[in-house]
Every structure is written in structure tokens, then in C-alpha cells.
Amino acid sequence: MDNLYTLSEIADKRFSNGEEIPQNIIDGVKKITSSGGFIGMAQINPIAGNVEYNAKKIAKYIKYACKIGLDMVVFPELALMGYPIEDTIDRHPIIVEENIKWLKGLAKITAGTTALVGFVEPRKKDAEGKKYFNSVAILKGGKIVGIVRKSLLPTYSEFNDYRYIEPSPVVGVQPAETLGVFDRGCESGCLKIFEKYGISICEDCWNNKEFFDKHLYEKDPIEELAAENPEIFINCSASPTRAKKEQLKHNMLSFLAHKYKTPIVYVNQVGAIDNSSFDGSSRVFGADGELIARAKSFEEQFLIVNPTKKIGKIYPLTKGLDKSLNEQKVFTLEYESDLERTYKTIVQGIRDYFKKCGFKRAVLGLSGGLDSTVCAVLLADAIGKENVFGVSMPSHITSKESKSDAEKLAHNLGINFTEASIRPMIDTTTECLDKLFKTVETKWDGRYKTSFTPDNIQARSRAMFLWGISNEFASCIPIATSDKSELYMGYATINGDMSGGFAPIADVPKTKLFAFARWMNENREEKNAIPEAIILKKPGAELAIDPKTGKPLIAEDALMPYEFLDEIIWRVENKNEGYQDLLNTEFVYEKHNTISREQKTEWLDKFFRRMSTALYKWSILPPSVIVESRSINKYDYRQPITSGKINYKGVEDEYVSGVLADE
């Protein structure tokens, strides 16, 4: 079957360039697929709500599928609308009407090939529950011949399906009497045709009672579908990448195929929508649970397979997607295995955010530190080096090395670079503020003896420069360079380094960034773009002088060792550990550093105190890419800002009795 995939790759390239597929390719593929039983997996990258854009893309693939005589072409969940679409369909129902219009149009261009197209299905006006179903339409012979509706609606992490979607009580192709709400052309008579396929949508296949220890739902749609003995399972999905999720997905799909002795065709969305980056990696497992085919990760692809005859091609999975499940049980500094996935997740996240919003260029401050360095590399790779402008903005504290490291980096990357001193800004602002503070002081007490004002003036002056460039030059946004460790500690300046149009590394902890920088130096085409000095230096904001050393303050001295901090974050996020758990178990850091219980207590206290006051900063963080299995992205995790006074330590029973007796 090598020839099929050689031809397909040529076709894919033509698709991505918007070119016609030449007749000889069509003929070549058709020769192979004409024997029947072939399915096209259309792993597409939609734009949320841009129904016309998505429909055009879908139309191209449907036409191609018809030309090469496929039995079926399968698109991801909500392919016409893009997933997630969120509350948009509630406030702007026009786009649902539009998606029906385009769906009907797409039905008309199908011929002998069946197309499965995800769309938002409006329910009857007087129906109980939410206004919409998350559905897949079965298009054939110019008509909508059947509908499948999602039953299990995720409402955790970045998912909010149940906010706007009604769960379907019926799995598989819907009974005739529920059809026809929006399309009188639906033909009830032809439903039986689809008994061959057990069709489900995304979460529907994630609730097997044998495979999972914990079940979020009572219903198991796949179990129900299996009872009807379909020849092939098909799952239309939109499942974003998260650390350590892929192995689970692989095992689960393989388990389902094997358990029900039925091949499964899983078609996933690719591309990023706001904070969620979808990896694609669509695949097919045979009836014995064996992997038959797998599409590329982080790329659009049209993969032709024959699940019954076990014809397919397994493209390599991005490293990290295949990470073993065992590793997720303990914190480790061994990030290596997840770095390729991290890289592609973020690069795709940046690229799609820019493209889908209509931005072309980015400007960022280059401090010579790790955060801005990693951001610069990612940006260069995502939107092109010519579209990135790095600005070194030294103050009186900035060292010569910082400036030269930044310049060296820019040179290595080939991005645009300039230097602009913020000293005049600092001088003027400081002078103005000194005067202002003196007036305020006549009315208000509580002026700090030492404050962060001078630090913040620097960070904000820099943001003023970057936003200035963004305002002055077309199609350009500034970049927020805050990392995850520092966001947890609130160690980021409002209207300063945490401000921007996009925050590429907001979900990457600092210790991972070090490994990430080294990985990029080794794995990018241009080796060692990041100067070694940047990776070796101790992180610090270079905003203040440490009175103890007379040198710029090192972040770890102001906070705590990053290794320790990152393990707290990991354990709180992945293991739900509380203060006492953390205090009473050994950290990786402690294996090679002796620290007193007092020191550990001090760091833990600082972590919970600073995290509590950082909640506000999380709420105003620019759009970013979710990378890890759990994040602080406001659309992934929400905690009331006013809950800052939570007692994370807990109290003793005796304390409770005492307090309540006193009230």
C-alpha cells in the first residue's frame, strides 16, 4: 500500500497549498480504493464559528472522497462550527442557522460517498433542556440521511459542553421520529443503512466501565452501540493535547476495539482554538486491538484507511504524546520525553492564534533571560523570524551580559532586533511619582518603606514600548513572557511582563523551561540558537539589586528553589496534595539538598500565601496555550479571587470545638 500513501502525501501537499489535485493522483488512488471498504479520515483545522471557512475545507475533502470513490469520509466533532464554540451559539444563534445552511449545501455535493460532518443541531423550540445537540450528520446522495448525537458531555478542565448542549438519550443513528427538526429532506427510511457503523462523538467513547476505575457517567454509549454488532466503530472527536493524555487514549481505544472485536476509526480535530491545542493523531485500531493507522500529529491530513482489510499507515507520533502512564505518578525533572510535544503544542497554539485572529507579527522584550528567550524561539518558529521583533530594553540594573546575550540570541534566530533604553522613562516616571507620592502621603498613611514601585516602573516602561510598537505597526501584538512557576507566585508585573496579546509559556514551569531550551538547541534545524550563557545563568528579573550581594536579585532567593516550587505545583495540580501532605513527604529537591523543617515550612507557607494573592493575576492573564495535564488558565481552572483566605493547612477537631464553643 506504499503507493496509496505516497500519492496521498502529494495530495495532502496540494490541499494545504490550495491547489487542485491532479487527475493522475486521483486515478492512482482510485485504482487502489475502488476495491471498496476504504474510509477517508479528514483531520482538519477549523476556525471557531467561521462556518464558511470550515465548510469550504470540508467541501474540498468531500469532493476528493467522491472522486476517488471512498465508502465514507469522516470529519472531526463539530467540524462545521469548530470546537469549542462555547456560549457563542447561545448569544448569536445566527451562526447555528448558518451551519445548517452550509450543512445542507455540503449534503448536496455528496454522491455515492457518505460524509460524516460534525455540526450544531438546533432542537425543537419547546424541547426540554438545552437548545442544541452536538451532532454528526450523515450525508449521502445529496441528502442528510441520518443524525448521530453526543450523549456524554464533558464539563471538566477546558470542557463546558453541558453549558449549551443537551445530552442525547439515544446513541447511534437517531430514530426517525426525532429527525426533521431542521431538515424536511431527512429520510427516515434509510437509517438502516448505517447499522454497519457504530458512530459516536468524542467523550462518548471515554466511559468504559472495565477500562476506567472511575466513571463520570452512568451511560456507556459504546457498550450500547456494540450491542447492535456494527462492523466498524467510528468516533468523531475534538480532543486537545494535555501532558500524559495520549497513552491513555491509545490504550483505551485499543481496549475498545479488542473487547468488542470491532475496528475503531477515531478522527480528531487538529489546530488550536484559543487556549486549547488539538494534536490530531487520528487513528484506527483493528478488531484485535492492534494499531492499524495513525495520522500525523499537529498537521492537517487526509488519511485513507481500510479498517476491515487492515490497510493503513502509522505515522510517527510526536514524542511526548506517547509518554507512558507510569511516569505520571511522581514528580520528576526528567522532562525530555515530553519536550517535542510541548514544542509542537505551543508552536501550533501561537501560529493558529495569530492566523485565526488575523495577526502577522509579534514584538517582545528580550531580557537575555530564559523566559523571553524561549518565547522568541517559539515565535520565530510559529510565525516566521521576519515577523518577530526582539527589543532589548536595558535599565540601570541591566548587565552588559544581558544585553549581549539578547543580541546574540536575536542574531542566531535571525529575528529583528533593536535596543532601546528605558532609562529616560524610569527617570521621568520616578520623578513624577515621587512628587505624587508626597501629596498622597499628606492624606494617607501606610506608605511602604521599601516597595516594588521601582521594579514595576521598569517592567511597565518596557510594556509601554512594546504596546507602542503594536499600536504603531499593523498586525502586530506584544508577547507576555511569564512562565507557570512565576505566575503561581504572582511574580509578574501587571501591565508589565505579564501583559501582552498572547502568553506562550504561561503553562510551562521553570525547571521544564531549562530542559526545553536545551532540547530546542539540539532539535531545531539551526542548532544552538540559544546562547549557553542564557541557560546557565540563574533566573532573575533584573529589576532590583539584592542588598546582600550588591548584584541583581536572583529569583530563587526572593522565592524558593525552582525545583522545590515546581514540585509543589505538580503535586497540587496532579495529586491534589494539601499543605500537610507536602510537608510530610520528601521532595526530589531534598534527595540532594538538606533542608530544615523550618525552611520547608517557610517555603510552603510562602507558596500558599502567594498563590492565594495570585488568583487575580491569573484572571487577567492573556490567552495562552494549555500544555500540562492541569493548568491555571482561567478557562481550565476557576477559583473565586475572594477565596484568597482559604486555610490550606486545615485545623484540628479540637480547634473546631473550641472556636464554636466560644462563638
Within 430-489, the residues that bind its own copies by CB under 8 A are 431-433, 435-437, 439-440, 443-444, 446-448, 451-453, 456-457, 460, 463-465, 467-469, 471-476
CB contact at 8 A, 320 and 299: no
* Least Cβ distance, residue 312 to its own copies (angstroms): 27
Element of type H or E holding 283: strand 283-285
The Cα 49–Cα 84 span in angstroms is 9
Q: Is residue 659 within the footprint of its own copies (CB under 8 A)?
A: yes
CB contact at 8 A, 137 and 144: yes
Residues 6+ apart with CB under 8 A from 530: 373, 374, 377, 409, 412, 517, 520, 521
3-state secondary structure of 282: coil
Q: By C-beta, is 340 or 567 nearer to its own copies?
A: 567
Give the orientation angle of helix 597-619 with respect to helix 562-575, to 10 degrees. Answer: 70
Q: Is residue 155 within the footprint of its own copies (CB under 8 A)?
A: yes
Q: b or e along 80-113 (b: 16 or more beta carbons within 10 Å of the residue's beta carbon)?
A: bbbbbbbebbeeeeebbebbbebbbebbeebeeb
The Cα 302–Cα 270 span in angstroms is 12
* Least Cβ distance, residue 60 to its own copies (angstroms): 5
Catalytic residue among 57, 60, 143, 150: 150
Q: By C-beta, is 16 or 475 nearer to its own copies?
A: 475
State the DSSP code for 280.
B
Within 163-182, the residues that bind its own copies by CB under 8 A are 163
Q: By C-beta, is 112 or 658 nearer to its own copies?
A: 658
154: how many CB neighbours lie within 10 A of its CB? Answer: 17
Q: By C-beta, is 325 or 620 nearer to its own copies?
A: 620
- Which of these segments, 225-233, 313-321, 538-546, 616-624, binds its own copies (CB under 8 A)? 616-624
* Least Cβ distance, residue 246 to its own copies (angstroms): 23
Cis, bond preceding 552 (omega within 30 deg of 0): no
Q: Which member of 29, 65, 79, 106 binds its own copies (CB under 8 A)?
A: 106
The Cα 281–Cα 247 span in angstroms is 12
State the DSSP code for 297.
B
State the cell numbers at 503.
Answer: 502568553
Catalytic residue among 57, 140, 186, 202: 202
Nearest to 460 by CA among 426, 416, 511, 501: 426
**150 is an active site residue:** yes
- Apex CA 282: angle with CA 276 and CA 286, to 5°? 145
Give the orientation angle of helix 453-472 with respect to helix 423-443, to 10 degrees. Answer: 130
3-state secondary structure of 24: helix
- Which of these segments, 106-114, 333-341, 375-383, 599-607, binds its own copies (CB under 8 A)? 106-114
340: how many CB neighbours lie within 10 A of its CB? Answer: 18
Within 191-250, the residues that bind its own copies by CB under 8 A are 213-218
Within 76-95, the residues that bind its own copies by CB under 8 A are 82, 84-88, 90-95
DSSP 391-425: EE---SS--HHHHHHHHHHHHHHT-EEEE---HHH
* Least Cβ distance, residue 432 to its own copies (angstroms): 6
Q: Is residue 576 within the footprint of its own copies (CB under 8 A)?
A: yes
Q: By C-beta, is 314 or 620 nearer to its own copies?
A: 620
Q: Is residue 51 within the footprint of its own copies (CB under 8 A)?
A: yes
Q: Is residue 130 within the footprint of its own copies (CB under 8 A)?
A: yes
Q: By C-beta, is 90 or 336 nearer to its own copies?
A: 90
Q: Is residue 156 within the footprint of its own copies (CB under 8 A)?
A: yes
Q: Which member of 356, 462, 510, 600 binds its own copies (CB under 8 A)?
A: 356
Q: By C-beta, is 250 or 617 nearer to its own copies?
A: 617
Q: By C-beta, is 168 or 499 nearer to its own copies?
A: 499
Q: By C-beta, is 55 or 145 nearer to its own copies?
A: 55
3-state secondary structure of 561: coil
Q: Which member of 21, 44, 48, 173 binds its own copies (CB under 8 A)?
A: 48
* Least Cβ distance, residue 443 to its own copies (angstroms): 4
Q: Is residue 316 within the footprint of its own copies (CB under 8 A)?
A: no
Q: Which member of 572, 614, 626, 627 binds its own copies (CB under 8 A)?
A: 572
**202 is an active site residue:** yes
End-to-end Cα spacing for the chain: 79
How many binding residues for its own copies (CB under 8 A)?
138
Q: Is residue 429 within the footprint of its own copies (CB under 8 A)?
A: yes
Within 265-294, the residues that bind its own copies by CB under 8 A are 272-274
3-state secondary structure of 115: strand
The Cα 501–Cα 353 span in angstroms is 10
Q: Are strands 476-478 and 361-365 parallel, antiparallel or unpaired?
A: parallel
> Pattern 380-399, binding to its own copies, x per CB under 8 A?
---------x-x--------
* Least Cβ distance, residue 64 to its own copies (angstroms): 10
Residues identified as active-site: 77, 150, 202
